[in-house]
Structure 1
Amino acid sequence: MNVLTDNFPTFAKGFLGTVQLTVYASALALALGFVMASFRVAPVRSLRAFGTAWVTVLRNTPLTLLFFAVLLGLPRFGIVLPFMVFAVLALGCYTSAFICEALRSGINTVPTGQGEAARSLGMTFGQTLSQVVLPQAFRSVIAPVGSILIALTKNSAIAGAFSVTELLGTYRIMSELGYNIILTFVWIAVGYLIVTGAISAVFNLLERRWGAAR
């Protein structure tokens, strides 16, 4: 227990870093995922091609490689930002590909007659998507999106290898101070369980309230 009580500020700083990464990257992933899902089902071929390329490249690229590309590649083009921002970009863009596919699968569950009826009333593609299709698709994708954001939380541990303050990185400090590494990892695991448990609770609540009937 003393590994936690003696180093609580260090653990707290790492925990808050993981929470920040999770919140900011989740917001970016949800926004980009929504945009790319819209592109994937758009009637414009160029938008569909862009959305498909985005998903194909990011979903099939190792996350560690993407971190290297963003944190080490962008500064070569004069783009210099805090490492935390770079980590959010890498994590958010990577996760957006999975969010996109989850949303697209939900969109595909909506009967085509719904969209045809909306278009027959003179609604544009954007209006049909936002007012008719997505509200129905949302009900079926709550659980998958929650699982993706939980995976994002665990993936945020990679950021520690790139000088970003996060929870897993505290093990190096504890190891240098001579603390039992197993107990250190136990408390790190507890921290991750708190974050993922909170995400799970939120999405369970959303699913109970708006999820598709089983």
Structure 2
Amino acid sequence: MNALTGHLSELGHGVVTTVELTVVTTIAALLIGIIVAILRITPVPMLRGIGLVYVEVLQNLPLLALLVLFVFALPQIGITFPLFTSAAIVIACYEGAYMAEAIRAGINTVAVGQAEAARAIGLTFSQSLRHVILPQALRAVIQPIGNICIALLMNTSLAAAVGVVELTQAANNVNLVEAQPIEVFTGAGIAYMLMALIIGFTTGRLERKLAIVR
């Protein structure tokens, strides 16, 4: 345990960075997911095509490759961001594609008759989405969104590859000093597990509280 207790400040800083990155990217990915899901169901063919291309491209590219390209290739054309910001942008855009598909699945659970009723009382497409469809769709996919959030948490470890000192990188730094990989990375793994359990517990409670009884 000395390898862990002797470096609590470094590991604690890594945990904080991981939590910050997870929270920021979760919020951004959810917003992106809502926008892209709306594009996927809009009656305008060109917008549907944009949403489809976004999802297909992002879901079929490795996140690590996107991180490396964003951090190391964009500066070649004069576009630079702080490392944390770069990682947050890439992870949010990547996970946003998965959020979009989960939300679109939620939209498909809303009865067609409700959308027709909304149109019948004079609501526009955007008003129907805002007041009728999206509130029900989001409540229907709380648990799938929670699962994506857990995957997002795990994916933040890839930010270590581009220099962000989150939990994985902090554990690696400690291991370089202590040379105790089993002890150090087991501790880091337990920390990730606890954070994932918190996300799962929270989304489970929200699902039970906000579930729609049909």
TM-score bracket relative to the smaller structure: over 0.9
What is the identity percentage for the equivalent residue pairs of Structure 1 and Structure 2? Answer: 39
Secondary structure of the residue aligned to 1:43 is coil
Partner of 1:50: 50
Partner of 1:192: 192
- Alpha-carbon separation, structure 2, partners of 1:213 and 1:77: 53
| Greater alpha carbon shift after TM alignment, 101-110 vs 175-184 | 175-184
Contact 2:37 2:100 in 1 (8 A): yes
Partner of 1:201: 201
Partner of 2:88: 88
| Greater alpha carbon shift after TM alignment, 131-140 vs 120-129 | 131-140
Partner of 1:164: 164
- Superposition pairs of residues 1-214 of structure 1, within 5 angstroms: 1-213=1-213
Q: Structure 1, residues 94-145: CA drift from partner, whole Å, max 9, x if none?
A: 0000000000011011111111110111111111011101112122201100
**Unmatched 5+ stretches in structure 1:** none
- Alpha-carbon separation, structure 2, partners of 1:113 and 1:92: 34
Contact 2:41 2:48 in 1 (8 A): yes
The letter of the residue matching 2:41 is: V
- Alpha-carbon separation, structure 1, partners of 2:44 and 2:173: 52
TM-score (norm 2): 0.96
- Alpha-carbon separation, structure 2, partners of 1:176 and 1:63: 26
CA 183–213 in structure 1, closer or farther in 2 if over 3 Å, else same? farther
TM superposition shift of 1:38: 0.6
**Unmatched 5+ stretches in structure 2:** none
TM-score (norm 1): 0.96
Query: After TM superposition, where is structure 1 displaced by more than 4 Å over at least 4 residues in a row?
Result: none
Contact 2:11 2:171 in 1 (8 A): no
TM superposition shift of 1:64: 0.9
- Alpha-carbon separation, structure 1, partners of 2:72 and 2:50: 25
- Alpha-carbon separation, structure 1, partners of 2:30 and 2:7: 35
Provide the aligned C-alpha RMSD in A: 1.3
Secondary structure of the residue aligned to 2:165 is coil
Q: Structure 1, residues 127-171: CA drift from partner, whole Å, max 9, x if none?
A: 101110111212220110000000000011000011001101123
Q: Structure 1, residues 144-200: CA drift from partner, whole Å, max 9, x if none?
A: 000000000001100001100110112322222134110001110121122212211
- Alpha-carbon separation, structure 1, partners of 2:128 and 2:188: 45
Secondary structure of the residue aligned to 1:79 is coil
- Alpha-carbon separation, structure 1, partners of 2:172 and 2:207: 39
- Alpha-carbon separation, structure 1, partners of 2:76 and 2:31: 27
- Alpha-carbon separation, structure 2, partners of 1:213 and 1:7: 49
- Alpha-carbon separation, structure 1, partners of 2:177 and 2:73: 34
